[in-house]
Amino acid sequence: MSGVVRLLVADDQALVRGALAALLDLESDLQVVAEVDRGDHVLAACRAHDVDVAVLDVEMPGLDGIRAAAEVKAQLPQVRVLIVTTFGRPGFLRRALAAGVDGFLVKDTPARQLADAVRRVHRGLRVVDPLLAADSLAVGESPLTPRETEVLRCALGGATVATIARQLTLSEGTVRNHLSGAIGKTGAATRAQAARIAQDNGWL
């Protein structure tokens, strides 16, 4: 069909993915040609199905939506990427824009607005949820270094210092130093609390 925008929908929740795909497919000028449930399947699916716009969730197994978006933008720059997520965290928006995404919306966006957002990013425009944009400016950038971010991401799952050290090929002393720095910067009392604060702000 000429003039139809070809879409990929990526979400690890089957009901949500199916609902998004069904809503978008109702539009005569939009066609969902691929659905995936993992972030590490996004790039291959975009290639295989000649996708115009990838609609991605943030939190997915294999690779989160923001990293998946960065892969797509690096290797298939012609593909537009729209993040649609439950997690409207300001830090997620900053990370997504840094990854080159073309749009960022929360999942309670009305169906008509979502379809319009897909059309707009396909035309080369940027679409960002206005409330989230305001929150992002208020919260500011992550105070964490890249290594502190990595260490906290590991700590989020309850990993011990020894486990984190093995995963990141660091000494246990270095891991403790990074955790201490992250705890201080987030104003937390423990590494678990620091990880939760960082996650809630979208810094991980």
| DSSP code of residue 83 | E
Q: Is the pLDDT of residue 182 over 60?
A: yes
Q: Both tokens of residue 99?
A: 């990854």
Closest CA to 100 of 67, 132, 130, 129: 67
φ, ψ (nearest 5 deg) of residue 185: -70, -30
Q: What is the pLDDT of residues 86-133, one digit of tens each?
A: 876 767 888 888 899 999 998 888 888 999 999 999 999 999 887 776
Interacting residues of 11 by C-beta distance below 8 A, sequence separation 6+: 17, 20, 37, 56, 57, 60
Report how far residue 16's alpha carbon sits from residue 185's, in angstroms, rounded to the nearest whole number. 36
- Domains of the chain (ranges plus CATH)? 5-138 (3.40.50.2300), 146-200 (1.10.10.10)
Give the residue carrying structure tokens 């009392």.
189
Q: What is the pLDDT of residues 144-178, one digit of tens each?
A: 899 999 999 999 888 999 999 999 999 999 999 99
**Is-contact 179 152, C-beta < 8 A?**
yes
Q: What is the pLDDT of residues 54-89, one digit of tens each?
A: 999 999 999 999 999 999 999 999 999 999 988 767
Residue type, 66: I
pLDDT-based confidence at residue 1 (cuts at 50, 70, 90): very low
**Most distant CA atoms of the chain, gap in Å:** 60
Interacting residues of 184 by C-beta distance below 8 A, sequence separation 6+: none
CA 161-92-27 angle, 5° bins: 135
Report how far residue 180's alpha carbon sits from residue 185's, in angstroms, rounded to the nearest whole number. 9
| DSSP code of residue 40 | G
